[in-house]
Structure 1
Amino acid sequence: MNLLECSVKDFVAATASKEPTPGGGAIAALTAATGVALAEMVANLTFDKKGYEDVQSDMKVLQEQAATIREEALELVQADANVFNTFMDALGLPKNTDEEKAKRTEALQQAYKDAANVPLKIGKISYGIFDLAYEAVTKGNKNLITDGAIAAINARAAVKSAFLNVRINLAGIKDANFVEEINSYMNDVESQLDKREEEILKFCKF
């Protein structure tokens, strides 16, 4: 199923179905895409607005960066589904002889790493949305300040969701250095999430 070409209704129905994909990783990527799209919208609706002449170049940069993340996030929606299928293929490899068992183990280890790396990418690009959301709420069209704030809320949800999917795959990986490096990175990012969200939501004290 091409997740990027189906309707929103069909995507949600597929998520709710008995099929394992799309799953949490794809939802994390979609959450990132919709969140950054809101920051992009703020930029687009600030262009040529009276009173915002001094931030037009900033909004141009915001729009371009948000569009890039949006496209990357959408690609990762499908990538997450694809990597799950690769893992299932590895799981189904024969294991009747020692040679087959060794090949299966090697394939599974690589599949676990691939399955961890995709949501890791989702988490990384999602974290980058905070900077764009901050630009949106501090410099963008004030009538859309809540949209910029929701971009930050989505960013936090996307990071947390993506990293959960990373961690469940790390549990199956025997490469201790690989696991330690990724866990260290995720712990550092997650320690900043509350602060990053709060510094943006403080502008929405209504």
Structure 2
Amino acid sequence: MADSAETSDMLAISVRDFAAAAAAKTPTPGGGSVAGVVGALGAALGEMALNFTRGKKKYAEHEHYYQQVGRRLEMARGMFEDLVADDIAAYKLYQSTSKMDDSPEKAEAMEVATAAAISVPREATKVALALMKDLKELGPKSNPWLITDLLASAALAAAVVRLSDYNVRINVPSLADKRAAADIKAASAADLAKAGSLLAEIEQAAKEHLP
């Protein structure tokens, strides 16, 4: 996790200021950092749907489950927030490494920097898919008045997987290990398909509550 003042400040500024920072002619925050924010908001909406459900007599039988899923949703939100800073740190590592003089040491360092740039979106995908699985289970046990918020949560999580796949695909060609690059790209594509299937299942289950 990155801990510099600059990356930490990205989590403390207003939505308006973050959008302005993303619009600025600077490399960070970029798509990876935005994906982290999108994921955090997605998890937050899932938490909201849960919080408007818990404590109601109608759903009392699920209280133990709510406690468990609530902890997981909160953890997902925190992990997405951490990934905002991690993405910025990974970019800075790649940028500084690319400026090194050509040498065997640079080639080795670039492989490490590229792997770091790939690891952030892969981790974001892992968190997003876990979130979507929780949302799929939570849907039938949640207040139907919050169904659109739960759907928005799932859609944002699916968007994180797609954004992460973009970032994986742009970086894997730089890996010297082409077999590993192909495996990573294939795994990312498979996860993208999983996200699409999960979103479709969540939307299908919600149809009875939507006009």
TM-score range, shorter chain: over 0.9
Give me the whole-angstrom Cα distance separating, in 1, the residues matched to 2:180 and 2:195.
23
Question: Secondary structure of the residue that 1:51 maps to in structure 2?
Answer: helix
Find the counterpart in structure 2 of residue 9 from structure 1.
16
Find the counterpart in structure 2 of residue 104 from structure 1.
106
Question: Secondary structure of the residue that 1:171 maps to in structure 2?
Answer: helix
Find the counterpart in structure 2 of residue 129 from structure 1.
131
- TM-score w.r.t. the length of structure 1 is 0.93
Q: Which of the residues 29, 33, 46 maps onto 1:39?
A: 46
Q: Which of the residues 111, 117, 120 maps onto 1:118?
A: 120
Find the counterpart in structure 2 of residue 72 from structure 1.
79
User: Please, what is the CA RMSD of the aligned residues?
Assistant: 1.3
Gaps of 5+ in 2: 1-5
Find the counterpart in structure 1 of residue 176 from structure 2.
174
The code of the aligned residue for 1:175 comes to: D
Would you say the 8 A contact 2:125–2:191 is kept in 1?
Answer: no
Gaps of 5+ in 1: 96-100
Give me the whole-angstrom Cα distance separating, in 2, the residues matched to 1:104 and 1:61.
46
Percent of pairs with identical residues: 29
**How many residue pairs align between the two structures?**
201
The code of the aligned residue for 1:92 comes to: K
Give 1:36 deviation, angstroms: 1.2
The code of the aligned residue for 1:179 comes to: A
Find the counterpart in structure 1 of residue 3 from structure 2.
none
Question: Secondary structure of the residue that 1:115 maps to in structure 2?
Answer: helix
Find the counterpart in structure 2 of residue 98 from structure 1.
none
Find the counterpart in structure 2 of residue 201 from structure 1.
203
Q: 1:78-93 maps to which residues of 2 (within 5 A)?
A: 78-93=85-100
Would you say the 8 A contact 1:62–1:135 is kept in 2?
Answer: no
Give 1:130 deviation, angstroms: 1.0
- Deviation track 1:106-138 (CA, whole Å, cap 9, x = no partner) reads 111111111011111011111111112113321
Give 1:9 deviation, angstroms: 1.4
Give me the whole-angstrom Cα distance separating, in 2, the residues matched to 1:190 and 1:119.
12
- TM-score w.r.t. the length of structure 2 is 0.90
